[in-house]
Structure formats: structure tokens, C-alpha cells
Amino acid sequence: MAGSRVLVTGAAGGMGRSHCVTLAQAGADVLALDLEDTRHELDATAEAVRATGRTCVAETADIRDTAALRAAVDRGANTLGGLDVVVANAGVYDVPGPSWTIDPQTWRRSLDVNLTGTWNTVRAGVAHFAGGGSVILVSSTAGIKAIPSASHYSAAKHAVVGLARTLANELGSRSIRVNTVHPGSVHTPMIINSRVFSRLCPDVDNPTEADAAAVLASRNLLPVPWVDPVDVSNAVLFLASEDSRYITGTQLVVDAGLTQKV
């Protein structure tokens, strides 16, 4: 990845920060992007990247806002001298309950961020590619199998796969590869919070992380409750690098066997 220039969205924390640091450790310079109200955390990501000796440009925009996103990506890419990789990582996970209870605003937010925001990101980033590159869309195991009480999320993440497959066909002649990564449960604030613990353990008063871990571990083939952010970042690094130079239109699953357990 030496000398590569990478855009990562959702970069202020969690998997996004891990992607930024992992790619920087492999030699990439990073355009880290997230919402304005994450500026403090985004600056921490930038410092972590710079500690590796690589350049980091931090920009803020809402990926749902096409004009603002394009302007932010243009500024950052121009500073870096272009882009070679796009990692569309930003997403939201709302869990309201069965499909018929989901309110229209929650449904729209999931589709707008997880799907349309991903499309916006690719459009803004690929405009700065020259001579090929790699696009990695972060989907989910919810993009492979059904997730009860999260139909809005699962619908968006399934659609991301269709988007990636289409983009792989459209961009292949320009030597641009497009693939999806599908994490299972990841040890980030999206999973490690009291709301999710209560959903996983409805019969337990004030469930703890240990309670939730026991439930999640029972769903996996491997005896672990979740993967760590760096495990997903290592998959992103592989798809971003020349090690995967002839891989496009595929789905790389990092889920400890969640989608394969019967």
C-alpha cells in the first residue's frame, strides 16, 4: 500500500478508525471523513494515522448530502494528489423491532445512510481515481442472511451487495475493482451498548457485556462472541492491496462462522 491514497468514511471511531490506522501502517495516506459532530474523535483518528508516519487529511460531511460530501472529498483528494482506494464504511444500525413497527423516518434513515450514502461515497471518490483502484463497500452479515427486527438494515445491506456487483461490471474496464466486506458482530459501540444487550438478553435484568457475549458466541461456529475491528480491517487491507489484484465483484465474510452455522 506504500504511496496509496485512501478515502475512509465513518472514520471517527470503531471500524473506521481501525481501517485508517491499518491502511496507514501498510503505507497508505488517508482521507478520513465523518460527521461534523464527531470532529474531536475524527481528530484523534488523524493523530493515530500520523503516528504511523503517514499523512492524514480529516474532513467532515454527511454522506447523505451529495454536494457537501463531494466538496469534502474533492478538498481532501486534492490535498493528497488523488485517490486509489475508497472504503465506504459509514453506516447506522437502528433496531426498532418487527418490520410492521418500523416508522417511515427510521426506514428512510437506514436506506439513506447505508445505501444511498454508500453510492454517494463511491461517486465522489472514484472521480479522483486515475489508472485503476479498489472500492470496498462495508456491508454486513445482514447483507447475506435475514436479521429479524432489522429489516430496514438488512434491506439496505443486501442492496449494497447489488450495488457492488453492478459497479464491478461498470468499472472493471477501468481496472477498478469493487468488493464487499461482511462483518458479523464486531466489538464496537454499535454492538457494545445497553440497548443491544437488552435485545440480546430480554429475560435478564440489566444484562452485562458478558451476558451478551454468551448469546452471541452461541450463534457462531468459532467459540468467540465477536470479531475485533482489526479483523475486519485486515480484510479491507487485503481487498485494497495488490494481493487481491484480480478479485472483484465478490463478498468477503468476517463473522466467526455466523452465516454458516446450521
Indicate the domain borders of the chain.
Answer: 5-184+228-254, 192-225
What is the predicted pLDDT for the residue at 10?
98
pLDDT value at 44 more than 90? yes
Burial label for 198, CB within 10 Å (0-12, 13-18, 19+), is: middle
Report how far apart the first and last C-alpha atoms of the chain are (Å, whole number).
38
Q: For residue 2, what pLDDT band results from cuts at 50, 70 and 90?
A: very high
State the CB neighbour count (10 A cutoff) for residue 94: 16
What was the pLDDT predicted at 96? 80
Residue 94 phi/psi, 5-degree rounding, is -100, 140
pLDDT at 183 over 90: yes
Query: What are the backbone angles phi and psi of residue 141, rounded to the nearest 5°?
Result: -60, -20
Half-sphere exposure of 123 (CA within 13 A, CB side): 16
Residue 127 pLDDT class (50, 70, 90 cuts): very high
Among residues 232, 247, 83, 125, the alpha carbon closest in space to that of 177 is found at 247
Mean pLDDT of 66-91: 98
212 with 225: CB under 8 angstroms?
A: yes
Determine contact, residues 228/17, Cβ cutoff 8 Å.
no
Identify the burial level of 71 via C-beta atoms within 10 angstroms of its C-beta, where 0-12 means exposed, 13-18 middle and 19 or more buried: middle
57 backbone dihedrals φ, ψ, rounded to 5°:
-105, 125
pLDDT band for position 148 (cuts 50, 70, 90): confident
pLDDT over 70 for what percent of the chain? 100
How is the chain split among helix, strand and coil, in percent rounded to 5?
50, 15, 35
For the annotated catalytic residues, the residue numbers are 153
Find residue 182's DSSP bridge partners.
253
Residue 188 has pLDDT above 90, yes or no: yes
Rg (CA), the chain: 18
Q: Would you give the distance in Å from CA 42 to the centre of its chain?
A: 15
Residue 180 in this model has a pLDDT that exceeds 90: yes
Residue 95 confidence class, pLDDT cut points 50, 70, 90 = confident
- Going by pLDDT thresholds of 50, 70 and 90, the confidence category of residue 218 is very high
**Structural class in CATH, domain 5-184+228-254:** alpha beta
